Structure 1
Amino acid sequence: MNWNKLQDNAQLAQIKQESAEQPVLIFKHSTRCSISSTAMSRLERNWSDSAGIKPYYLDLISFRSVSGQVADEFGVDHQSPQVLLIQNGECIYDASHFEISFDELKQQVVSA
């Protein structure tokens, strides 16, 4: 799995543009939380590039303001860990904690 780093608010405009061509995943990760580490590990173990989802990783401890902007920009409540699936500039799905599942992400892409 090749993570793209999300470290700047300006990248959100780029992500919205990219999501018109392919689904984009934002994974908000707390480096201080064991649940977040477990969720990330499960996601990475089950990941397949064949789903066509471009993954972004946000270290929300280091980039707290970006995390807040993600919540505002896509109209979701902040959670940690959290995934947001972006298509056509909008969040079509979000999940947090142990609800984070690659299989569920794939199903959301197919149904969107």
Structure 2
Amino acid sequence: MSHEVIKTKEEFVQVLEQYGEFFLLKHSLTCPISGLAQEQYQRFMKETDVPCFSLYVQEARELSNHIADFTGIRHESPQVLQFKEGEAVWHDSHSAITSEKLNQL
């Protein structure tokens, strides 16, 4: 499955409109825990047919804040959100992000 990095609110809206379901990783480029979560997310991406996206918090802070406002889910990093039909239906953060857990969704 392909993996795209999104950076703007416009790209996020396009993803919301285009996909019935997708996952989004909020990733910090400087945090070791986020690096471990990214490894788990990348493993999951190889095992799923659901589209997966990432945003890098340092490069897309405005988008990250917009997603927190849009979903009502407090921003954390790392954080994975699952969207279905335009709504966040699941999220988790930090060391709770594992490929095993993601595959159970």
TM-score over 0.5 for the pair: yes
Report the secondary structure of 2:64's partner residue: helix
CA contact (8 A) 1:85 1:105 kept: no
Give the match for residue 2 of structure 1. Answer: 2
What are the ranges of 5 or more consecutive residues in structure 2 without an aligned counterpart? none
Answer yes or no: is 1:47 the counterpart of 2:26: no
Instruction: Using the TM superposition, give the Cα deviation of residue 47 of structure 1 relative to its aligned residue in structure 2, in angstroms.
Output: 3.3
Q: Is the 8 A contact 2:6 2:54 kept in 1?
A: yes
Distance 1:8 1:47 in 2: 22
Q: Could you tell me the percent identity over the aligned residues?
A: 28
The alignment's C-alpha RMSD in Å is 1.6
Q: Distance in 2 between matches of 1:73 and 1:12?
A: 11
Which of 73, 76, 79 is the matching residue for 1:79? 76
Counterpart of 2:59, as a letter, is: S
- TM-score, normalising length: structure 1: 0.84
Q: Secondary structure at the match of 2:37?
A: helix
Name the SS of the counterpart of 2:73 in structure 1. Answer: coil
What is the count of residue pairs matched by the alignment? Answer: 105
What are the equivalent positions in structure 2 for 1:58-77 lying under 5 Å apart? 58-77=55-74
CA distance in 1, matches of 2:44, 2:24: 16
Q: Secondary structure at the match of 1:56?
A: strand
In structure 1, stretches of 5+ residues that fail to align are none
Give TM-score scaled by structure 2 length.
Answer: 0.89
